[in-house]
Amino acid sequence: MNIKFATEEDIPLILQFIKELADYEKLLHEVVATESLLKENLFGKNKRAEVVFAYENEEPAGFALFFHNFSTFLGKPGIYLEDLYVKPSHRSKGIGQQLLAFLAHLAKERDCGRLEWWVLDWNKKTIDFYLKIGAIPMNEWTVFRVTGEALDSLAGS
């Protein structure tokens, strides 16, 4: 198993993984990402995020999409893991843990103060996995989001 950073040639594969993850999370109907949006935001002038792939026997087995955020309390950047997905045929082989370990190493290398992510409440198997590796749930926080018409309204559009 090896982990490699995605390149622009991987855009169709990135979109495929995003859609597979969304389908697993029962959210496929919400995916509006396109190859051109991914190209602009992952490989364009102002890169907004990065992607790594885990390969098993030269076959793409999993991926992680992440970006930097900033902790005012720590005074340091962090890595926010937006998506982590391992194909069903490759699960229970340690690939998810290796992707997380890769990101943890990258966070240390980039002098980040933390690595964080969200998980859906119903995804007990994944939550158990995260607890097993030492992740701590931030139960005292509530996530808020403004999107679509609410975002337009707030922006005064």
CA–CA gap between residue 157 and residue 146 (Å, rounded): 14
CA–CA gap between residue 2 and residue 98 (Å, rounded): 9
Once rounded to an integer, what is the mean pLDDT over residues 50-58?
Answer: 97
Question: Which one is catalytic: 55, 80, 85, 130?
Answer: 130
pLDDT of residue 65: 98
84-141: per-residue pLDDT in tens? 999 999 999 999 999 999 999 999 999 999 999 999 999 999 999 999 999 999 999 9
**Quick check: 84 and 116 in contact, CB under 8 A?**
no
CA–CA gap between residue 35 and residue 16 (Å, rounded): 10
The reported pTM is 0.94
Measured between its terminal Cα atoms, the distance across the chain in Å is 48
Structure tokens at 85: 């997905």
**Quick check: 56 and 117 in contact, CB under 8 A?**
no
CATH number at residue 6: 3.40.630.30
Please say if 80 is a catalytic residue. no
Q: Is the pLDDT of residue 15 over 80?
A: yes
pLDDT of residue 157: 77
**Which residue range(s) make up the domain with 127?**
2-155
DSSP tag of 145: -
- Which candidate, 117, 49, 113, 44, places its Cα nearest to that of 85? 117
Number of domains the chain is built from: 1
